[in-house]
Amino acid sequence: MLIHRKWIAFAAVTLLLTACTDQNTATSDEKEPAEEQAVSKEEQETEEVKKEEAAKEEAEAEEKPEEVAAADPQYRINSANWSAQPITDASEKVVLVTIDDAPDKHAMEMAETLKSQNVPAIFFVNGHFLDTDEEKQQLKKIHEMGFAIGNHTNSHPNLRDLTEEQQTDEILQLNETIEQIIGEKPKFFRAPHGANTDFSKQLVQDQGMVLMNWTYGYDWEQQYQNAQSLTNIMINTEFLNNGANLLMHDREWTSEALPDIIQGLKDKGYGFVDPEAIEGI
C-alpha cells in the first residue's frame, strides 16, 4: 500500500502541476506572476488591487487540493444492474473485474496475472480465508499490489438466514480483520450469493461501504468449470455490455482462464475500471 499511496501522492502532485500549467497557459495572454509583479510596480497599482489578487491566489491555492480529491471518482455503481457508469467523461466501454471467495488457493496467481496485464480488480475476501499468517500475508500482498479489497462476510453465510446481530457480526468482524491486516477498512461490500437484506444494506451504508452484486459470472456452474468453456462464455456472453460487473472466483479453472479472458475483453475493446475511481458513499 505504501507504493500505491506514493503513486497516488505522485499522481496528485502531477495533477496539481498540470492544473497549474493549464492555468498559466490559460492566462498567458495576461502576465506571468513575476512579470505581473514588476509591471504592477511600474504601473503603481493600488494596494487594494494587490490585496484582491493575493486573496484570489490564496483562495485558488486552497481550492486546488480539493479539486484533486474531487477529481478522483470517475464511475458510480448503478444499483439497478450493478454496472459501473461513468460520472465524468471517463470511457463507457469498460468492465469491472471482481474476484470473490479470496484469498483461497489461487488469489495470488490471479493477482499476478491481472497485474502483469495491468488490470485493476476488487478481491472480495472472507474471514475464513484469513485465519493463518500465510493467508494474512497473501491479503497484504494483494493489497500492496494495488488491488482493492472488499468485504464478502466473515464465513460466507446467506445473510437472509441470520438474525440482525449475526449479520452485524459477519460484516463488522471482517472489517476489523481486514483493517488489522492492510491498515484500512474495505471500501466495497458484496453479500454471499448476492443475498442482501434491508438490514445489511443499511449497515453497509452506515459503514461507508459501496455495495454491489454483479452483472454476470459463470465459474460456479458445472459446465463452465474448465478454462476453455469459461473463457468462451465470459467474453462472448450476451451480458457483456458497457460497465459490466464481472464476477469470478478464486478457483483453479478461473485462474487458468484469466489471461485469455482479459485478452478477449481487451480484443473486444474493453477497458477496465479502477476501483479507486469508483465513487464512495
Positions touching Zn ion (CB under 5 A) are 100-101, 192
Output 68 or 212, the one with its CB closest to Zn ion.
212
Give me the residue whose beta carbon is nearest to Zn ion: 100
Output 100 or 170, the one with its CB closest to Zn ion.
100
Give the dihedral sign, CA 220/222/224/228: positive
Could you give the CA distance from residue 29 to residue 202 in angstroms, rounded to a whole number?
Answer: 53
Residue 191 Cβ vs Zn ion, minimum distance, rounded to whole Å: 9
Could you give the CA distance from residue 113 to residue 259 in angstroms, rounded to a whole number?
Answer: 6
User: Which is nearest to 273 in space by CA: 218, 224, 225, 210?
Assistant: 210
Residue 159 Cβ vs Zn ion, minimum distance, rounded to whole Å: 12
Residue 100 Cβ vs Zn ion, minimum distance, rounded to whole Å: 4
Residue 144 Cβ vs Zn ion, minimum distance, rounded to whole Å: 23
Residue 111 Cβ vs Zn ion, minimum distance, rounded to whole Å: 17
Strand ranges inside the chain, DSSP E: 75-78, 83-86, 94-102, 122-125, 148-151, 188-189, 210-211, 245-249, 271-272
Output 85 or 106, the one with its CB closest to Zn ion.
106
Output 192 or 275, the one with its CB closest to Zn ion.
192
**Is there a contact between 147 and 123 (Cβ–Cβ < 8 Å)?**
yes
Output 68 or 171, the one with its CB closest to Zn ion.
171
